[in-house]
Structure 1
Amino acid sequence: MNTLPLSDDIDRAAELLQGKLISVLTGAGISTDSGIPDYRGEGAAVRNPMTFQQFQSSPEFRQRYWAGSHLGWKRFAASTPNDGHEALAAFERLGLSNGIVTQNVDGLHLRAGSKRVVDVHGSIDRARCLRCGQYFARTPLAARISELNPWLEESDSHTLNPDGDADVHNVDDFIVPDCTVCGGLLKPDVVFFGEFVPTRKFQLGAALVDQSEAMIVAGSSLVVNSGIRLVERAMRKKIPLVIINRGATKADRRADVKIDGGASAVLGELVERLAA
């Protein structure tokens, strides 16, 4: 449950943001109220996510990844947008924001009604063939996986991770789906560790920052390079920077206002003040 920070911090943020077109950067912390864990918040487990190089190198790695990704996606698909996602959709609807750059792969901003969303790390709801480039929607792909691996559906006690993966053991019998067009390797359309954010995606995110007059960071510790690069871009423009995050971020000392609190409550308060 969110604990609302001091109202004067929110008032200071609203005063800075009033009348300005705002770009928004979100991270895993905005989705915790939807039941999706974050990477670095209090109590988060230390993880060593699979790299792209591992995924490519071995059938065993692909078995482990696809088994976990299948179960994780089912949990993601069942999650719903929270008040933070709804508040940011309202920001856009009211003309307060020119869009969202998200590091999340859960698709919850779009499901909340936001229209202009740049998912710099991709989206878990689609997969792509590494050979021919064909894209596949996850719902029919999940049906294929369930049909090939009915035993995997027997337990729902697996630990969900923020990137749409789940910890699964004993996957020696797991059958990895292949591309129905060319028989190539399928990969969820997300940026793995060891991969670069697609240039076009970063350019779209940078354009939102360049066209804005203020920036909000919500639910990101800014440890990942894609996020801090966008924040540095905003700071070079010398536009107001408001950070909303439980715990420290890499840009706290450079923010105009840092609010140590939950994104859902703070964004809800901000949209009320800015829309007044």
Structure 2
Amino acid sequence: MSTPHPDLAELEVIADLVAGGRVAILTGAGMSTESGIPDYRGPDGQRRVEPMTYQQFTSGPESRRRYWSRAHVGWARFAASRPNAGHRVVAALQREGFVRGLVTQNVDGLHQEAGATDVLELHGTLSQVRCLTCEERIPREVMEAELARLNPGFADRVRTGEIRPDGDVSLDEADVSAFVLATCRRCGADTLKPHVVYFGENVPRDRVAAAYEIVDDSRLLLVLGSSLKVMSGYRFVRHSHKAGRPIAVITRGRTRGDTEATHRIDAGLGESLVTLAGMLGIDDDFGQVVDGEYATGLPLGLT
């Protein structure tokens, strides 16, 4: 299915709003699909994969073994993804002074890699690992090195499916059962968890409060690449709507916030945001056009 092109008249209206500055940007998984990281839902809004919940992860070592075996295999591909044109436009909007604050529901760090600063990561980051028993924190690279030591050659010999939204892949149960879990270097527990908010877990209150502060100090809420199906992002749309603040949504397919949005574009983010940047007089080289679509930013060999 081809990606629809943006409605240029509606995009002009949004560009005029952005030109006034103090824009709060909220991004979701659709922001990173052009970097090769799939989202949980397609344009039809239906969930395509079932993520592991917090309750499942904490239920016992077998659940954690299932998560970490799949995540270890998928990490190299996930970590090799690169910012796409949309990420680079968002960073440019911030650099040019249009943006009051940037809140993302994504955990991939691609906004920062594209040059954005002071990114509020609502759901945390996959780049850090936390021990649920003693609160020790370690970089993900350290965790991956330990998993590789405990499971030599594991990532190279197992058969895998496509990469999933959280960076893991599907594996055969026989491969999962043979995987050795890493333990915390401080307390020895096997309760190491990516420092992200799982389904069934609450976003920390201070993070939510900081996001509300950004939204309340803005003139426009610009939602990019989110279906707004979960309340953690949708709450800011409801809040802005009640305040009478304009809300612009650019993403593929329907969203939960369509009735609250004052401006709505159903189109690919790369093309939409590069066109928006041009309307604002930002003429940076955000990416090459390939067959009518902006290049994903993926390194060669990553599919």
Pick the TM interval, shorter chain: over 0.9
Distance 1:41 1:214 in 2: 26
Deviations 1:101-160 (A, max 9, x none): 111111100111100211111111110011111111011211111111124212474321
Corresponding residue for residue 301 of structure 2: none
Deviates more, 1:180-189 or 1:3-12: 3-12
Corresponding residue for residue 62 of structure 1: 64
Q: What is the CA distance between 1:45 and its match in structure 2?
A: 6.4
2:249 partner SS: strand
Counterparts of 1:82-231 in structure 2 under 5 Å? 82-154=84-156, 155=158, 157-169=160-172, 170=174, 171-184=176-189, 185-231=191-237
Out of 239, 246, 254, the residue aligned to residue 248 of structure 1 is 254
RMSD: 1.7
Distance 1:19 1:198 in 2: 31
One-letter amino acid of the counterpart of residue 9, structure 2: D
Distance 2:240 2:72 in 1: 37
One-letter amino acid of the counterpart of residue 161, structure 2: H
Distance 1:79 1:94 in 2: 26
Q: What is the CA distance between 1:2 and its match in structure 2?
A: 5.0
Distance 2:76 2:121 in 1: 20
- 8 Å contact 1:25–1:101 — kept in the other structure? yes
- 8 Å contact 1:27–1:220 — kept in the other structure? yes
Deviations 1:197-245 (A, max 9, x none): 1111111111111111111100000001111101112122222111001
Counterparts of 1:65-76 in structure 2 under 5 Å? 65-76=67-78
Q: What is the CA distance between 1:264 and its match in structure 2?
A: 1.5
TM-score relative to the length of structure 2: 0.86
One-letter amino acid of the counterpart of residue 62, structure 1: R
One-letter amino acid of the counterpart of residue 58, structure 1: G
1:144 partner SS: helix
- 8 Å contact 1:71–1:166 — kept in the other structure? yes
Distance 1:57 1:7 in 2: 50
Q: What is the CA distance between 1:42 and its match in structure 2?
A: 4.0
Distance 1:245 1:186 in 2: 34
Tell me: CA distance 1:45–1:202, structure 2 relative to 1, closer, same or farther (3 Å). Answer: closer
Distance 1:198 1:69 in 2: 24
Corresponding residue for residue 240 of structure 2: 234
- 8 Å contact 1:73–1:125 — kept in the other structure? no
Distance 2:281 2:187 in 1: 52
> Gaps (5+ residues) in structure 2?
283-303
Distance 1:156 1:99 in 2: 42
Distance 1:241 1:198 in 2: 25
Counterparts of 1:28-47 in structure 2 under 5 Å? 28-42=29-43, 46-47=48-49
1:17 partner SS: helix
Distance 1:206 1:152 in 2: 43
Distance 1:98 1:71 in 2: 38
Aligned pair count reads: 276
> Which structure features the higher share of helix residues?
1
Corresponding residue for residue 289 of structure 2: none
Deviations 1:181-206 (A, max 9, x none): 11121100011111001111111111
Q: What is the CA distance between 1:82 and its match in structure 2?
A: 0.3
- 8 Å contact 1:215–1:239 — kept in the other structure? yes
- 8 Å contact 1:73–1:165 — kept in the other structure? yes
What percentage of aligned pairs have identical amino acids? 42
One-letter amino acid of the counterpart of residue 159, structure 1: E
